[in-house]
């Protein structure tokens, strides 16, 4: 028995393309949320706050409200922070971002580590009043 196929018969791929476009849109929207998954820090305000120059290479150290220390969004202990700063080039800018509800002692401990290791190229981030 021979089946007769007409020229217009075949697999309709339009629904498949629609599903793939929806999946692509979901992946793209979820990936933007993942890229913005930074540690939430409520910075203190200062009237003299300035914008940092974006072309400078820098390392960001964040202290969250629970006094957790993060280097470029990765949690670290104080000993790991000290070891990391020892490996840094002294010309690399260290951007300190401390939550206003965190303990001041943690912030001072980070400053002490920077000073002990003669790394004096750092900035303290605040919000503009």
- Whether 52 is covered by a domain: the verdict is yes
pLDDT tens profile 75-109:
889 899 899 988 888 888 888 888 888 888 888 88
How many other CB atoms are found less than 10 A from the CB of residue 38?
12
pLDDT at residue 65 tops 80? yes
Residues 86 and 92 sit within 8 Å (Cβ to Cβ): no
**Domains identified in the chain, total number:** 1
More confident residue, 56 or 15: 15
Within a domain: residue 98?
A: yes
Domain that holds residue 116: 45-128
pLDDT at 2 over 80: no
Question: What is the reported pTM?
Answer: 0.58
Question: In this structure, what CATH number is given to the domain that contains residue 88?
Answer: 3.30.420.270
């Amino acid at each position: 028995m021979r089946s007769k196929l007409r020229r217009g018969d075949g697999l309709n791929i339009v629904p498949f393309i629609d599903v793939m476009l929806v999946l692509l849109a979901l992946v793209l929207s979820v990936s933007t949320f993942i890229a913005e998954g930074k540690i939430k820090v409520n910075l203190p305000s200062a009237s003299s706050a300035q914008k940092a120059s974006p072309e400078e290479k820098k390392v960001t150290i964040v202290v969250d409200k629970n006094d957790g220390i993060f280097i470029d969004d990765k949690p670290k202990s104080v000993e790991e922070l000290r070891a990391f700063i020892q490996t840094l080039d002294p010309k690399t800018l260290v951007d300190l971002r401390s939550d206003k509800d965190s303990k001041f002692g943690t912030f001072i401990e980070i400053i002490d580590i920077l000073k002990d290791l003669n790394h004096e190229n750092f900035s303290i981030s605040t919000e503009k009043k």
